[in-house]
Structures are given as C-alpha cells and as structure tokens.
Structure 1
Amino acid sequence: MDIKAAPPSPTQIIKSPGGPIIPKPVKFLIGGTAGMSATLFVHPLDLVKNRMQLSGEGGQKRLYSSTFNTFQQIARQEGILKLYSGLSAGLLRQATYTTVRLGVYTLLFEKFSKDGKPPNFAEKTAIAMTAGAIGAFFGNPAEISLIRMCADGRLPIAERRGYKSVIDALVRMAKEEGILTLWRGVGTTVSRAIVVNAAQLATYSQAKQLLIQNGKYFGDNITTHFVASMISGLATTLASMPIDMAKTRIQNMKVINGIPEYKGAIDVMSKVIKNEGLFSLWKGFTPYYARVGPHTVLMFVFMEQFNRMYAKYILKDDRKVASL
C-alpha cells in the first residue's frame, strides 16, 4: 500500500507561469513513473512491514522482534536480494494506483475550481479521498500480488506459492482461485486509501503552512516538504495501520475447503487483539512510517525532473515546468 503527501495542484504539475504546458495523458504517465522510480528505493521497507504484520498470525510463533531483526533475518536466511521480493508487483501497484489517483485528483480539482480559484479545503479533502478510493480499486490486483510475494519467503518451501513475477501471480490467482480473488480485500484497500488521504491532506497542508510561516529555516523547498511529509506520515500511519493490518492478512489468507481464515476486517482486528494484543494492530509501524516521507519526496523529485526533461527534449522548452 503506499502513503503520499497531498498531490500538488494541476498548475504545480503541469506548468508554471509562462512555462510550457504538458498534455494531461503525459502528466499522468509521468506521475506513475515517478511513483515507480521512488519504489525502487523504498521497496525493502514495504517487504519488512508486510512480514512483520503477518508474523504471529494464527497463534504461530512470532518470527521477528523488531524492524532491524526482520531485515537481519531476511538477509541472513534468504539472501540480501530477497529484500526486493515482489518488486514487480510494487512497480505495477504504482503504475496503476498512483497513475489513476493523480489523474482523478487532477480532473476533479479542475472541475471544482471556479473562476481560477482552487477548491476550498473541504472540497480538496473530498477530492483526495475520492481519488484515493478509485486508485485503490484499480491497484488492488497488484496490491494482493505484492502482499503474497513479500510473504512467501517466511513459509516452508512446500507451502510457498512461488510466484515468478507479478504477471505470473495475477494469472495463477485468476486461474486457480477465480478472477474475483484479484479484488479480495478491496473493501479494506479502499477504506485504507480513504483514511490515508483524509489524514495526510489535513496534516501535510497544515504542517507545511506552519513550517513556512513560523520557521526561519524553512521555505517552500524540498527540506520543508520532507519534514512536512514526516509529520503527516506520523499521523497517517497511526490512523491507517489497523486497516492496513487487516488488508494484509485478508489478502494473504488461504481458503481451505471453501472456508476463509477471516470473515472481514473486523474479524481480523478482533482476532489480532485477542491473540496478539491491542498494539499488534500497529505491527510494522517503523518500516511503514520510515517509507512515507522518503517515498513522497522522491516521487515529487522524480516528477519534477521528468517534467523538465519532457519540456526540454520533447517540447523544446527549457523553462521551469513544475516546482516542489
């Protein structure tokens, strides 16, 4: 799953005053590519978070004691390259979720802008939540592939699913379990996206505003964006992790003799609280939080550079296109 700072307004992504205009389809492509590029750097944190959330499931022995211990065990027992297990699914998730999310956000942002004035805060929140929900629906097949591919290495060899790539995972799931399996847990995926977008929009915007207004060391630059992203990420992580825990376990569960391990998100959370303790709902907190700010900043940095490259080499205009 994936948390990001509030998407910049369409004018921030497409053009600056007097600058070149990038076509919307290209802008959406750039947004997805930027998200994929950032994922190359933070994917191991996703894998560690997923492993920690599944550790101790069903009364089994807890495999990992901390984030560092999880990294250490995976590297020692499976090999350092296994930290990138499921990378193809992570990239596809960005190609679907991020592209759709940014596209819907931008279209709705423009629709609700009146006389050159952007939507008010309540409208921005509703737009971000809607965009996140729609993006999450389209990204769910890649999401479930990511969860399963990340989880595989913790199982005995005989119990592993052994997906070779995200395409292999999608084809096998559809063939072996039915096409609807690709949208298993979509309700929790969409719910998490709504909570994430609602929480991060308010906290990111407010944190950035307060830093610029009250901090002499902060301007509208990458340092401020990073700090605001980390503040926003803390609030968003606290709010969304119980839902993310439920999503991870539902999407990874096996159906035995037609009986699923969990009936739904509430069933997952109640069983986790009963068997593992209340705070286990936030299992994997550190790697989940640690990827929030870096992924956000990296995505926007890549997005800006890709915009500039397109303007310079395709549009033959080297004026500034996007600003962070």
Structure 2
Amino acid sequence: MAACCFTNPLEVLKTRLQLQGELRAKNQHTIHYKNVVHAAYVVAKNDGPLALQKGLVPALWVQLIMNGMRLGTNLIRQNSQNNEGNLVFYKSVIVGGTGGVVGQYFASPFFLVKTHLQSQAAKAIAVGHQHEHEGTWSAFKKIYHTSGIKGLFRGAGASIPRAFVGSTSQLTSFKYSKEFLNQYDYFSDKPLLTSFCGSMVGGVAISVMMTPFDLIMTRLYNQPVDPQGKGLLYANYFDCVIKIFKTEGVSAFYKGVGPMYLRLGPHTVLCLVFWDELKRLYDKFLQ
C-alpha cells in the first residue's frame, strides 16, 4: 500500500493512454497524450496536479486485497520446492497464479471504480467513456443503485487472465532470480540486495507479460453500459480482443506499456523488498 501512493500517478497516465484512440484507426483520432511525460504535463495543466492521484482510495484497497492474497499464498512457496529446496516451475506458476486470480476477483469492484475515476478528465483532454462520478463512495453507490452487486463485479472475468499472467510472471521471476543469485557468494549474505535485484527482474517480466491483458480489462471496465448492464462497445472478452485488433492493430495491445513499466518496476521493487524484509524480521522475531 505504501508503494501505491508513489506509483498511482503512473496508473492514471497508463489508463489515459490505454483509452486514447479507442476503436479508432491510427491517425483517425485526436492525440491528447503523446507519451508518458507529455501525458503528465497535459493532465497537470488541464485537471490540476492533484488529478495525478485520481483513484488513489480504491487503488489502495486494490493493493490491500490483491497483494494480501498473492503474498499470502507466497508463504506456502515451500510447496513449490523439490526435496533439494529448489523451485519446481509448474508448482510455482500455480501457486503464484492462483493467489493473483483470487485476489483480483475480490478486488474487482475497487478496480472498476478506480478505472472510472482515473479516466475522468476535463472535456478538452477526455478519452474513453466519462462516467462522471463525484468520488469513490458516490461511484459505488451509483453503480450499485443502477446495476446492483452484479454491476460492481462487471468485468471481473476479464481481470482473471490479467491477474494470473501478472502474478505468475512477477512472483515466479522474482523467486527464480533470487534462487539464481543466491548461488553466488557475493549475494548469499546480502538478502536486501538479492531481493532488490530479483524484484527488478519481476518488474520487467510483469510489465511485458501483463500489458495486453491489462489494456483489455481497462477497456471492458470503462465501457458504457445499457440499462441492463450490457456493454455498449464490447459484448465480451473475445469481442473486445477482435475489435481492438481489427480497428487499432496489434500494437494497440501495448498502449501504455511505458507507464506500466515505470509504475510496476518501482512498485514491484518496493512491494517485494518490503515484503521480504518484513518477513525476515518476522521470522527473526519468532526465533
């Protein structure tokens, strides 16, 4: 959660870039945000500097639920090891992925509201559908009043592949990197440095692997719906994939990869290093 406060502005910029040019062919839409730096300038200029922290409250809840579940399942990683104490790949994938999926599903209502709030912008720079929520709790009330509990979990299915791929790639690469580095004497007695290097690898892995799934989820979360709660732009997950591919091309699936890495890189480092250090202190306390 501490990491989220520092990286949330990048999540805002990523959301704007992912929604820019939605279902429009290249060069057939206005480009409000040229890149992550330009996007930060445009948002601060038009919406004010505080707009870079839009959606912070639901984002904190997302991290609390998701990371609590993912890192909690990471505690049983000994079940992912063989008799020599080395990680077994497929077991590590299952453990990491399962924790991510469960956490993402229960965090989905907060992720939905976070996406709505972060996409809201001044008319001059608006991209994607504008839900016009007044704040976090008013957004929950509005969605619940309109569509009930089902509306709060709209798009939750789209978050599952994102969570599985993201959690698996991040935690597996983190654990394998540390295991590799600990083979060398230089790293074996430097747990903090080992955690830092391992988390750097985890940040790259999750950014590259998760961006396409994240973009699809953002589009499905943010699309307008009819009175029955059905999406007006995309009928389902695969319809979303096909429409993006046909209208925007393959490269569209990597819209926002810049801020995705800039966010998940430091976020992964902070989160996993904090986690490793706290766990180490806890283990020392128990001894």
**TM norm. shorter chain > 0.5:** yes
In structure 2, the CA distance between the partners of 1:208 and 1:74, relative to structure 1 (3 Å rule), is same
Partner of 1:135: 103
Alignment of 1:152-163 (within 5 A): 152-153=120-121, 155=123, 160-163=130-133
Aligned with residue 171 of structure 1, among 141, 157, 181: 141
1:125 aligned onto 2:93? yes
* Cα contact 2:44–2:52 (8 A) shared by 1: yes
| Matching of residue 37 in structure 1 with residue 2 in structure 2 | yes
C-alpha distance in 1 between matches for 2:179 and 2:276:
21
**Relative contact order: is structure 1 or structure 2 higher (C-alpha 8 Å, sep ≥ 6)?**
1
Q: How does 1:1-324 map to 2 (within 5 A)?
A: 36-59=1-24, 60-106=29-75, 108-109=76-77, 120-153=88-121, 155=123, 160-213=130-183, 216=186, 220-256=190-226, 260=231, 261-303=233-275, 320-321=284-285
AA of the residue aligned to 1:47: V
- Relative distance call for 1:118 and 1:88 in structure 2 (3 A) is same
Alpha-carbon distance in structure 2 between the residues aligned to 1:119 and 1:207: 11
- State the alpha-carbon separation in 2 of the partners of residues 226 and 271 from structure 1: 40
Secondary structure, counterpart of 1:178 in structure 2: helix
Contact 1:89–1:165 at 8 Å: present in 2 too?
no
Pairwise CA distance, 1:181: 1.6
Q: Quick check: 1:230–1:292 contact (8 Å CA) kept in 2?
A: no
For residues 202 and 81 of structure 2, what CA distance do their matches in structure 1 show?
Answer: 25
User: Identical aligned pairs, as a percentage?
Assistant: 28
Q: Is the 8 A contact 1:145 1:170 kept in 2?
A: yes
Question: Aligned-pair RMSD on alpha carbons?
Answer: 3.2
Q: Structure 2 CA distance, aligned partners of 1:248 and 1:228?
A: 28
State the Cα distance separating 1:238 from its structure 2 match: 1.9
Which shifted more, 249-258 or 200-209? 200-209
Shift of 1:67: 0.8
Contact 1:307 1:321 in 2 (8 A): no
TM-score (normalised: structure 1): 0.74
Is the contact between residue 51 and residue 154 of structure 1 (CA under 8 Å) also seen in structure 2? no
Cα distance in 1, alignment partners of residues 78 and 187 from structure 2:
33
- Identify unmatched segments of 5+ residues in structure 2: none
User: Which whole-Å CA distance do the structure 2 matches of 1:160 and 1:285 have between them?
Assistant: 22
Stretch of structure 1 that moved more, 77-86 or 115-124:
115-124
Which 5+ residue runs of structure 1 have no aligned equivalent? 1-35, 312-318
TM-score w.r.t. length of structure 2: 0.83
Distance 1:222 1:283 in 2: 33
